[in-house]
Amino acid sequence: MKADIEKIFNERLRSTKKYVVYFDKNRRLKKSWKELSDDIDHSVRIIDSIRGTHRIDAPSIGIIGPTSYSWMVFDLACLKGGFTATGLQEHLDADEIDEVIKVEELDLLLADYSLKDKLKKAGRVAIYYFNCIGFENNDTQKIQVDDSKPITMNILDEYGSGYTSGTSRHAKKVRLLCTPTPVPRPSFIEKVLKAVLYRFSFWSAKDNRLIIFMPFSHIQQRTFVKMAFLNNVNIILSDEANCIRHIITEKPNIMVSVPAIYDVIARRIKEKTEQFPPFKKKIYRFYNKSRINRSFNWNPAKAILNRYLFSGIKKLYGGKASYFIVGSAKVNPETIRTFYSVGVKILESYGQSETGIISMSSHWQFRIGSVGKPGPDVVIADDGEVLLRFNECYYHDYNKDILAVDENNYIHTGDMGYLDQDGYLFLKGRKDEVIVLENGLKIFAGTIEERLVQYEGINHAVVFSDSGNSLKTILAVDPDYAIEDVIKIIKMENRKLKNHEKISEFAVDKNSWQPENGFITGNFKVKRNKIMEIKKNYTFYAVPDLPLKVV
């Protein structure tokens, strides 16, 4: 690990051909990795200057703000300069930020200038604001920097930390370690095989592009940046509000995203295919029935039909989709199926911030609804919970209490699932979200919620039971969504569900659920506890049993 990080700073960041694309409002900006390296060194000097001004010996640094080039630069500057960096979630309120500053004993907070008003109450910490251009009355402190001062690389064994999203409970701290890891020396045959596989894989392409738009406060995004450098992959920095537009304009072929983004693109793909003229629809059906969609992209028949059928659809996802991964939450199988119908495999991954990737599908091991074939360290408990064997080599940096390790040395993930006869892992939902009715029947709320949010205009859904014998749901919908439309959708889905799974009552929330108001996490996952705390504030309607007239 440490050798990889040193390679980034000593070798990769010398490149003048590889680049980072980022956006300042409507301006598209582009810098080479060499220019990025110069910015990193400049930022190390800024931190050193602040240390001298405030007489801080070994600063513990917090970074807060929306995804931006400056956030990434300061994070890498902390890594190179030997400072511990904690990523703070930008949607926390002022009191929560102050609490993190206190708990982490931060000496310095590097903050996006847009958060200045929120940070007015932050005490006991020096604050340096970045991204100040364009703001009026910029009174951030002026830092004197000597750019001729040499920079010494000083990578710490524990170089930072971050917090989990805290979907169903309090966010947990995860430490970022960079300790030397002994790696067995590969044999000559292994070296040759690796070189051949690399040569014929998309990784050898010269213009691979990874798009990052999720918050850098989540440690995975920071990890993706380092992986991009190690694999010579260009980086596109976007944000949650503009990522769909930037996927279209920047054409990334590598993306790791939460289900919500793929859901939006899938709906648009489905709209386009449903508008095909009759003859094109016949070819489209042939394309799928003959399983051409399942073949690899180098298949000549697939290449020809892709050009004929999907020339107007490709731009919706950028066009290539060499390595599109979905994670963080269970994805609707219909979304995967829609992409698959136009020849694109969305690879489902499963893991946790505390453990990393547990299982992931691949182009060779791919089944809709499955997160791939996990290794022998993954087993299913008697109650259906996914367990992961605790391995000291990988998880020595985490406290066993944080990882919920039992007496048999297994990590309890809190996720429910099963392995099919071929060893593919399928997830059902969170263990603490399983609804057990009075008659003992179990319902996975997440499965029903997936079905509801597949409809455009329904942004989030929470299914629960008050009585123990019937289900209710709270739906976050677009402001112009009519109650009658909600009733139609619920009745349609009720027809497909078993009797004990049918929804009897519903409530509608036309307000937007955002991380800022505490309804969802930075990864777009609903905070169920928050919704359950305020459910009494909603007006619930009974789902009528009248027959639905289908138009």
pLDDT band at 517 (very low <50, low <70, confident <90, very high): confident
pLDDT mean over 130-148: 65
- Residue 11 has phi, psi (to 5 degrees) of -125, -60
Which two tokens mark 262?
């793929």
Q: What is the pLDDT of residue 547?
A: 43
- Give residue 255's pLDDT: 94
pLDDT at residue number 233? 95
Please list the alpha-helical segments (H only) found in 441-534. 445-453, 483-496, 528-534
pLDDT at 550 over 50: no
Q: pLDDT tens across 258-269, in order?
A: 888 999 999 999
Q: What is the pLDDT of residue 504?
A: 92
pLDDT band at 399 (very low <50, low <70, confident <90, very high): low
Confidence check: pLDDT of 190 > 60 = yes
HSE-up (13 A, CA, CB side) for residue 298:
3
Q: Categorize the per-residue pLDDT at 398 as very low, low, confident or very high, splitting at 50, 70 and 90.
A: low
Over residues 85-110, the mean pLDDT reads 87
> What does the pLDDT look like over 14-57, one tens digit per residue?
999 999 999 988 899 999 999 999 999 999 999 988 887 777 77
Does the pLDDT of residue 210 top 50, yes or no?
yes
The beta strands (E) that lie in 2-149 are given as 19-24, 27-32, 60-64, 84-88, 108-112, 126-130
The pLDDT value given to residue 341: 95
pTM value is 0.84
The per-residue pLDDT for 198 is 65
Q: How far is Cα 307 from Cα 310, in angstroms, rounded to an integer?
A: 6
Q: Please check the confidence at residue 364 and state whether its pLDDT lies above 70.
A: yes
Least confident of 26-35, 153-162, 215-224: 153-162
pLDDT attached to residue 103: 84
Most confident by average pLDDT, 134-138, 234-238, 401-405: 234-238
pLDDT band (50, 70, 90) for residue 181:
low
Q: What is the CA radius of gyration of the chain?
A: 25
Average pLDDT, the chain: 86
Count CB-CB contacts under 10 A for residue 183: 8
Total residue length of the chain: 551
With cut-offs at 50, 70 and 90, classify the pLDDT of residue 434: confident
Give residue 460's Cα distance to chain centre.
Answer: 17
Predicted confidence at residue 275, as pLDDT, reads: 94
pLDDT reported for residue 401: 60
Higher pLDDT, 168 or 319: 319
Is 70 exceeded by the pLDDT of residue 141?
no
Domains of the chain: 28-172 (3.40.50.980), 437-542 (3.30.300.30)
Nearest residue to 501 via CA among 545, 471, 534: 471
Q: How confident is the model at residue 21, as a pLDDT?
A: 97
Q: What is the pLDDT of residues 70-80, one digit of tens each?
A: 999 999 999 99
pLDDT at residue 168, as a whole number: 47
C-alpha pair distances (Å), 196 with each of 4, 185, 193, 361: 22, 18, 5, 22
Query: What is the pLDDT averaged over residues 173-191?
Result: 68
Other Cβ atoms less than 10 A from the Cβ of 385: the count is 17
For the sheet with 356-360, list strands across it.
27-32, 19-24, 234-237, 209-212, 254-257, 323-326, 346-352, 356-360
State residue 340's pLDDT score. Answer: 95
397 pLDDT higher than 60: no
- Give the least confident one: 150-159, 224-233, 401-410: 401-410
| pLDDT value, residue 540 | 93
Quote the pLDDT of residue 110: 94
Q: pLDDT at residue 137 above 60?
A: no
The C-alpha atoms of residue 255 and residue 210 are separated, in whole angstroms, by 6
Q: Exposed/middle/buried for 495, CB within 10 Å: 0-12, 13-18, 19+?
A: exposed
For the chain, give me the number of helices (H) and strands (E)? Answer: 15, 24
pLDDT band, very low/low/confident/very high, at 392 (cuts 50, 70, 90): low
**Amino acid present at 502:** K
